[in-house]
Structure 1
């Protein structure tokens, strides 16, 4: 996958310097992986948004995430719909079972 990481306050794209999250296709960290990476660590507060993805790509990953592990001191929040709409999770650094967002996540924020 192409692309580069974005400085804090930017869009996260797959494949840059270090992972801010490793998404797994299935719960309990099983199945295929999609890694989002960025150039910088997240800030130490969840009161801001350091990185974001408005619509999960590649397309076959939209509504397919079952668990994740955060990285670079980032906490992850998943959203049901594109553009951070619908049901959402609180910011978490790791989650092995996404509940109502299992296979239903379309956008992401990192803090």
Structure 2
């Protein structure tokens, strides 16, 4: 099982590496690595826990036939920390802050 330590360095996320959002909101692997843009850890973690943003990432990945061919979608692990689950934006950001604070001693 992968560690939570170092999440700030390990975007994109998920088993297929499909959850990626760039520093300016670029979506999916097509909008980030496919264009030479390094995924932003904070934005990518937000997409990992916000179902509305994740749907946009999945849609962006699905638009690329090469990603579809290798089964990279960004779908999976539905542990939502979003408004639809009763969390505020502030609570979502607090979780992201905590996750990004985990580093080696």
TM-score by length of 1: 0.26
Structure number with larger C-alpha Rg: 2
Larger helix percent: 2
TM-score by length of 2: 0.27
